[in-house]
Structure 1
């Protein structure tokens, strides 16, 4: 079979697989992936060219409002079962070193890290997959007990970067290099370098290739990252709870549509304000305005798909701005956020 035919077949299989996980049909989804393996398709190709692209579409369908949160969760849960089925069916003997794969503390998007773990296993590594949200101190304890050659650390959200930074430093302190991966490190991995990671890979196969090249140090040198964080990040973090209470109160008083919000809508609004504070903090930590403005644009687009006008975001950002009189860098970022919100989203009817 030619490579073109294989590519076409896997594309069609990915569409079929998406249909099955969209219906939360675990048995049918597992049949799809195991059937491909039985037909001679390498397990790595099934993971990266069937499961992975289908999962990316799941995220897009949720973001557009086409799929509900429940349907997205159900599809992801089925994919986790499918990956587990592939792992149980294809079990190569480890011939290389030992790798620990984990999600950063506070990071619950575990499926990409799981797929990285499986690709490394298929390439011959002995892998300890620790799952979602592994606290740094517990990860370090595991490293001291098992002595792996590398830690592959996943991070999907930039809000986790301050914790990631502490984890990277702790891993290196016990002599284990860190290979970073996931969109939380930036599309080009720039935050992985900024936080002192020993390497970065954009996808599971790239991670395996990077480790195969052997260019990660065995005993990393301490990284110089004294420019990170700063007083404003610390101040924002310290007062987060009180700040959110004040902003919510101000928004309730001054944004007329909130008078008719249901308890659930008020809960969603409080969650959105928490995300704004966290992304603002992350942008301050790494000194990158795009971390915040990109989040604002994304939020406006998500809310627009659900009928919520972008001016609700702008209004909240202005209240944050007024509350943070003593944090000039944060106020500058919030002003940029208001500009981003003015060019994002679309008309809405103020409902969620």
Structure 2
């Protein structure tokens, strides 16, 4: 059995004609009286010596039969895809959020019009950028770390196999020196100009401490041509509070920018259409479960629809066309919502599976795995 995503599709023209009872038109020819014989007349046909009198191959018959059955799924998927392609242009109102380093690119689609912008001030990016300094250093030195786990506060939570895979080069080389020096140049440039960025006092102070500590760690590591997990964690543990301060400032900038935009768009869409609003938030998997943009926008949605109309869509990589990806997935969701209640009007469990992220076969598989020896029909 196919999954519901593989199951849904379309019908060919010829198949549709057959289904409706129409067959191919008969060829128009001038009848030959000599060939216009009485079908009930006795005949003694001459046997064809080359005729194949063997019994049909059962495997060939089985293959043909199954291909005929598979054609149902092929045609269904064709029609399903056609419906989705048309439905994309009917979706409204929709807000699409593409998470990015600037706090998110927001797009509103309503009544055929589309508006896109970044609503968050650059204070968000500034605060996060500096807070990322330890992560930048880690990304350079991680492949060269020792596979031995030192006795550190978080060592019991560190997966040894994960460390083995990340530290794939080991400490036997100093190839990290060049990249680390280059990153130090970037950090030093930001530190020199930090005062000109006109940050709030608290943010500037925490950012100063993060940059200074990062430059100190790099300088010490380069001078001794050695890096290790103990010295790195000693450096990062001093910055916990400062990183938290930067995150607080970034969060404040994001809340202010998104709330101002959502307020404007809510007035623009109007009270009649706003309750039906869908919001699709695209993010990579590591930030999808409790995404910052989803938290903010949900407060503006109609409470009755917020849980079902806010779609968090994890992606492997930020898509090249976030709007199309969001609408393509939303079209599947919307048409499945209607299909669920009309295809399974008497089965709540199957209907809920079809209209949600659960695979339609999931419950059947769970049931059979839980009781593999239960009696089966057919």
Same fold (TM over 0.5): no
Whichever of the two has the greater Rg, that structure is 2
- With the length of structure 2 as denominator, give the TM-score of the two structures: 0.21
- With the length of structure 1 as denominator, give the TM-score of the two structures: 0.22
Which protein has the bigger helix share? 1
